[in-house]
């Protein structure tokens, strides 16, 4: 059956539809009308040409109008823009942008594939010529020209295109700031899964600003001055907008075609619009979300290509149907890849769908084979049936393979029990006999079968009164950090010490990634104890906490500075030993580093290469505690990280006698904010291995008072003083903006939302971590406060005791 098919848009969906139509019908007339100067170019490859990974620009042009003409006998008209559709007489009005001529073209079937355009919000100054976006070859050329001679650029938006652009700019050695309004990059993923990207971006010199937006663009000498919602300003050469796309629907809307609730063109599963002779495909259309069954906009190349093919099939009488979109995607961010398919946990929450989840952190392939690196996988599934709803993965290697397997499993309606049984290819360089996908299935199935009850970071952060945290990692691992307040019993000693645990309590057990925690739970539950295993272990907890505090793992340093530092330091220091700790998990790399430093002379340097992403934070923390000098930590090849450390000089006699560094702080004030600051510093220092002493004097003592009634012998003035002063940490007020308690309530609300520990919890944690709390007896006497009024565990002392502690401290603060 011969047809005249007109296609609007000649890239992903349009070109695909044209080629398929020709394969199905030799005699039909096929016309592609493309506004731009190119057809079928690789828009997904544009950032990689800007960054230099694809040096030859022509490689992005997958075909030309001439080739399409010769090979497929398709009439491709570039620089021809469709201005309007007349559905009644089945014609389109077209302007030839080269000649300005306007003409009409009739059709039997019309396929719309006009794509989506970058969102440009109405922010003052956004029309400045240096505020650019990336959609096509012309945009790419414009960006490359604008970057010439520029030393700094800013990417606005941390989704796929923003992240790829940030990497491209750093590859061009341009200092780069990435501004992202949400508190995480890659907002489609769950925050704890996207968290490692922060570190990766910062390690590669990207100045990452989360929770930030641009409120004005102004001209500046070297380009632009950006005003941020934080009040800061930022001078930059070029700003690249990558905050999302919106479907191009103007033609469809003007022609009276129905749009869907999300603003895209509405189509049925045959890609037909409300006019059966007009089809629409690609980024311009609304699809049905596979899981939520809600209309969605999911602008991805795979769906656009498949839809183009289906539209052509249907035009030629085939019964092809589009099976909805599950949002399978992957993005490279320097050494890491993040991939996802189906439903995320936060999308499930938004849609009110109850889900269960597990985390696993296995290696991408056998850890003994070179190049293995840790992969983090989150599986989201139905609570009872175990049907897979979605998955996310992040790591340096093997993310694509696992996400693709899970996308297929998800599409086939499989359950977590099916994942246990999947037979996947295995040899040491490629995987493990128990593939990460199988592992995720085992862990999820264990939960559903009731072999172990799971708990999550949120349970640990908001610890219920009957719960006790139990860290079953080794002592070395616990030294690199633990969850505040956790009891520590290494797994190897759990059986002999199980008698120490109470049947009245519930133990929230954790190890590094969840595997030993599971074994520990099996031991505990078979001994009649209540317990749950922290899914994904301490690693997932760290990532969750990192997300809620919005603190970057490393300080955001403007890229030009980082590059300079790295070059200077790395060039001038030659390590005497280079250790390969790739494939080892924490504390393996740290132990190897310690061993190597033990064997070298003071002042000599050791370099270590590791693939554990946690290593990037562990090394500086460990150096701080041990006194070795951290030279640099930087990304290496194949997802590894390289750190160089200089052995500390031989110990010199000094005031620090215990071998540990010490800090003594005076707490003078009973203002809530100052008390918080004092306790946060104390806990932080204790966690970093300091011996911490807090010396409470004058108003600071009020924080140590018990809140309930206390029987103490006092005279009248002492009693009056006692009534007027706050009793305990819950009664303190803000030093500023207290507003009769409203300000305090607001700040406590914010703290709760961001999972900041309360003041009483910080005090308890400090005591549990061995922070010594000394109360000044002279101040107590002056203020009429009696020992019985104070919480347990407080020592009494005077100035001499304070001076003694201070003399042994490397640091002292007066918090007033």
Among the listed residues 425, 228, 312, 348, the one whose alpha carbon sits nearest the alpha carbon of residue 24:
312
- Does 614 engage in binding with ligand FAD (CB under 6 A)? no
From CA 384, how far away is CA 737, in angstroms rounded?
A: 49
* Contact status: 12 vs ligand FAD (CB under 6 A): yes
Please, which residue, 22 or 516, has the CB nearer to ligand FAD?
A: 22
- End-to-end, the C-alpha distance of the chain in Å comes to 87
Contact 665, 678 (CB under 8 A): yes
Among 617, 618, 610, 614, residue whose Cα is nearest residue 372: 610
Of 29, 62, 75, 81, the one binding ligand FAD (CB under 6 A) is: 81
Residue 36 interacting with ligand FAD (CB under 6 A): yes
Residue 147 tokens read as 């970057």
Return the residue of 194, 251, 287, 315 that touches ligand FAD, per CB under 6 A.
Answer: 251
Residue 583 contacts ligand FAD per CB under 6 A: no
Nearest distance in Å: CB 463, ligand FAD = 41
Nearer to ligand FAD, 302 or 749 (CB): 302
13 binds ligand FAD (CB under 6 A): yes
Name the 3-class secondary structure at 730: helix
Structure tokens given for 557 = 């340093």
Does residue 304 bind ligand FAD (CB under 6 A)? yes
Does residue 78 belong to the site contacting ligand FAD (CB under 6 A)? no
Nearest CA to 770 out of 488, 431, 560, 573 is that of: 488
Q: Is residue 744 close enough to count as binding ligand FAD by CB under 6 A?
A: no
Is residue 135 involved in binding ligand FAD (CB under 6 A)?
Answer: yes
Shortest spacing between CB 17 and ligand FAD, in angstroms: 9
Candidates 296-304, 544-552, 570-578, 778-786: pick the segment binding ligand FAD (CB under 6 A): 296-304
What mask, x for binding ligand FAD by CB under 6 A, covers residues 151 to 170? Answer: ---------xx---------
Cα dihedral across residues 672, 674, 680, 682: positive or negative? negative
Which residue from 162, 260, 264, 299 is in contact with ligand FAD, where contact means CB under 6 A?
299
Sheet holding 131-133, edge to edge: 131-133, 238-241, 152-156, 175-180, 206-210
Distance CA 204, CA 747 (A): 34
Nearest residue (CB) to ligand FAD, 8 versus 175? 8
- Residues 273-292, interacting with ligand FAD (CB under 6 A): 282-284
Residue nearer to ligand FAD on the CB measure, 340 or 586: 340
Of 118 and 490, the one with the shorter C-beta distance to ligand FAD is 118
Identify the residue among 5, 163, 300, 379 touching ligand FAD (CB under 6 A).
300
What's the number of CA atoms in the CB half-sphere (13 Å) around residue 165?
30
Cis peptide before 325 (omega within 30 of 0): no
> What's the order of all strands across the beta sheet hosting 605-610?
577-581, 605-610, 641-646, 629-635
Rank residues 277 and 595 by Cβ distance to ligand FAD and give the closer one: 277
Residue 259, CA atoms < 13 Å, CB-side half-sphere = 17
Cβ proximity to ligand FAD: between 137 and 355 the closer is: 137
Cβ atoms within 10 Å of 484's Cβ, excluding its own: 20
Q: Which of residues 624-643 bind ligand FAD (CB under 6 A)?
A: none
In DSSP terms, 810 is beta-bridged to none
Cα angle: 377, vertex 381, 386; to 5 degrees: 120
**Among 786, 772, 485, 813, which residue's Cα sits nearest to residue 666?**
813
Nearer to ligand FAD, 249 or 556 (CB): 249
Provide the minimum distance between the beta carbon of 219 and ligand FAD in the complex, in angstroms, as a whole number.
26
Q: How far apart, in whole angstroms, are the C-alpha atoms of residue 46 and residue 240?
A: 13
Tell me the residue length of the chain.
816
Q: Is 511 a catalytic residue?
A: no
Would you count residue 327 as binding ligand FAD (CB under 6 A)?
no
Q: For ligand FAD, which residue of 20, 47, 374, 442 counts as binding (CB under 6 A)?
A: 47
CA dist 58 and 50 (Å) reads 13
E-strand ranges in 629-768 read 629-635, 641-646, 662-667, 691-696
| Segments in 214-281 forming alpha helices (H) | 250-254
Q: Which of 18, 46, 396, 531 is in the footprint of ligand FAD by CB under 6 A?
A: 46
Q: By CB neighbour count within 10 A (0-12 exposed, 13-18 middle, 19+ buried), where does 426 fall?
A: middle
Judged by CB under 6 A, the stretch of 108-116, 374-382, 500-508, 547-555 that binds ligand FAD is: 108-116
- Name residue 509's beta-bridge partners: 470, 533
CB of 251 to ligand FAD, least distance (A): 5
Q: What is the DSSP letter of 708?
A: S
- Give whichever of 337 and 380 is closer to ligand FAD, judged by the CB atom: 337
| CB closer to ligand FAD out of 329 and 704 | 329
Please report how close the Cβ of residue 82 comes to ligand FAD at its closest, in angstroms.
Answer: 4
Give the Cα separation of 632 and 231 in Å (integer).
32
Active-site entry in 44, 467, 511, 586: 44
Q: How far apart are CA 372 and CA 127, in angstroms?
A: 47
Q: Which residue is nearest to ligand FAD (CB)?
A: 282
Q: How many residues bind ligand FAD (CB under 6 A)?
A: 34
Check binding of 82 to ligand FAD (CB under 6 A): yes
To the nearest whole angstrom, how small is the minimum distance from the Cβ of residue 514 to ligand FAD?
31
Using CB under 6 A as the binding rule, whether residue 37 contacts ligand FAD is answered as no
Q: Which stretch binds ligand FAD (CB under 6 A): 32-40, 670-678, 686-694, 769-777?
A: 32-40
Question: With contact defined as beta carbons under 8 Å apart, do 113 and 282 qualify?
Answer: yes
Using CB under 6 A as the binding rule, whether residue 33 contacts ligand FAD is answered as yes
Question: Where on the chain is the footprint of ligand FAD (CB under 6 A)?
Answer: 8-9, 11-14, 33-36, 43-44, 46-47, 81-82, 113-115, 134-136, 160-161, 248, 251, 282-284, 299-302, 304
> Active-site positions?
44
């Amino acid at each position: 059956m011969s047809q005249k098919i007109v296609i609007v848009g000649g890239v992903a969906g349009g070109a695909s539809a044209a080629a398929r139509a020709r394969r199905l019908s030799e005699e039909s007339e096929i016309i592609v009308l493309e506004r731009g100067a190119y057809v079928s170019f690789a828009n997904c490859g544009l950032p990689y040409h800007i960054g230099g990974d694809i040096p030859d620009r022509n490689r992005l042009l997958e075909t030309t109008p001439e080739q399409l003409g010769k090979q497929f006998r398709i009439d491709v008209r570039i620089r021809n823009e469709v201005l309007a559709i007349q559905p009644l007489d089945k014609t389109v009005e077209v302007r030839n942008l080269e000649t300005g001529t306007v003409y009409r073209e009739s059709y039997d079937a019309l396929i719309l594939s006009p794509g989506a355009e970058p969102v440009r919000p109405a922010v003052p100054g956004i029309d400045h010529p240096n505020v650019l976006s990336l959609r096509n070859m012309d945009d790419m050329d414009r960006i490359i020209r604008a970057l010439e001679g520029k030393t700094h650029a800013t990417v606005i938006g941390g989704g796929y295109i923003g992240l790829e652009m940030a990497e491209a700019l750093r590859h061009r050695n341009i200092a780069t700031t990435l501004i992202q309004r949400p508190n995480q990059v890659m907002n489609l993923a769950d925050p704890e899964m996207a968290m490692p990207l922060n570190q990766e971006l910062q390690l590669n010199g990207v100045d990452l600003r989360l929770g930030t937006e641009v409120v004005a663009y102004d001209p500046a000498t070297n380009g632009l001055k950006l005003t941020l919602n934080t009040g800061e300003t930022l001078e930059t050469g070029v700003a690249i907008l990558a905050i999302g796309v919106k479907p191009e629907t103007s033609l469809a809307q003007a022609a009276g075609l129905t749009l869907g609730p999300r603003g895209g063109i509405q189509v049925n599963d045959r890609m037909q619009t409300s006019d059966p002779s007009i089809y629409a495909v690609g980024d311009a259309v609304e699809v049905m979300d596979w899981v939520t069954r809600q209309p969605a906009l999911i602008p991805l190349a795979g769906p656009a290509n498949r839809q183009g093919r289906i539209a052509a099939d249907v035009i030629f009488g085939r019964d092809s149907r589009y099976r909805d979109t599950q949002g399978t995607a992957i993005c490279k961010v320097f050494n890491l890849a993040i991939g996802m398919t189906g439903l995320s946990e936060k999308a499930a929450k938004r849609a009110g769908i109850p889900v269960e989840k597990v985390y696993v952190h296995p290696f991408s392939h056998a850890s003994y084979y070179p190049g293995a690196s840790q992969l983090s996988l989150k599986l989201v599934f139905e609570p009872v049936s175990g049907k897979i709803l979605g998955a996310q993965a992040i790591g340096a290697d093997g993310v694509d393979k696992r996400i693709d397997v899970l996308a297929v499993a998800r599409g086939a309606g499989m359950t977590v029990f099916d994942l246990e049984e999947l037979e996947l290819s295995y040899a040491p360089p490629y995987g493990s006999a128990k593939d990460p996908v199988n592992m995720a299935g085992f862990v999820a199935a264990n939960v559903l079968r009731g072999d172990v009850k799971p708990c999550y970071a949120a349970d640990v952060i908001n610890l219920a009164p009957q719960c006790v945290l139990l860290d079953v990692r080794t002592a070395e691992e616990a030294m690199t950090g633990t969850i505040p307040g956790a009891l520590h019993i290494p797994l190897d000693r759990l059986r002999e010490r199980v008698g120490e645990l109470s049947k009245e309590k519930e133990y929230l057990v954790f190890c590094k990634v969840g595997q030993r925690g599971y074994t520990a739970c099996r031991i505990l539950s078979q001994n009649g104890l209540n317990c749950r295993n922290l899914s994904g272990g301490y690693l997932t907890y760290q990532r969750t906490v990192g997300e809620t505090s919005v603190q970057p793992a490393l300080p955001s340093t403007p890229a030009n500075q980082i590059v300079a530092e790295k070059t200077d330091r790395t060039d001038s220091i030659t390590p005497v030993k280079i250790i390969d700790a790739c494939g080892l998990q924490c504390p393996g790399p740290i132990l190897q580093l310690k061993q190597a430093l033990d064997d070298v002379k003071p002042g000599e340097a050791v370099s270590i290469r590791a693939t554990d992403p946690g290593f990037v934070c562990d090394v500086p923390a460990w150096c701080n505690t041990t006194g070795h000098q951290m030279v640099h930590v930087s990304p290496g090849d194949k997802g590894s990280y390289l750190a160089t450390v200089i052995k500390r000089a031989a110990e010199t006699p000094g005031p620090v006698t215990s071998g540990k560094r010490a800090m003594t702080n005076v707490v003078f004030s009973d203002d809530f904010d100052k008390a918080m600051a004092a306790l946060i510093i104390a806990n932080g220092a204790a966690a970093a291995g300091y011996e911490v002493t807090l010396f409470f004097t004058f108003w600071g003592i009020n924080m140590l008072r018990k809140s309930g009634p206390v029987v103490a012998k006092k005279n009248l003035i002492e009693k009056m003083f006692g009534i007027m002063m706050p009793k305990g940490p819950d009664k303190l007020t803000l030093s500023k903006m207290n507003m009769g308690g409203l300000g305090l309530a607001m700040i406590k609300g914010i703290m709760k939302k961001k999972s900041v520990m309360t003041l009483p919890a910080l005090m308890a944690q400090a005591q549990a971590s061995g922070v010594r709390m000394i109360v000044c007896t002279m101040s107590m006497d002056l203020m009429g406060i009696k020992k019985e009024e104070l919480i347990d565990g407080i020592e009494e002392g005077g100035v001499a005791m304070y001076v003694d502690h201070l003399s042994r401290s490397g640091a002292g603060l007066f918090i007033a």
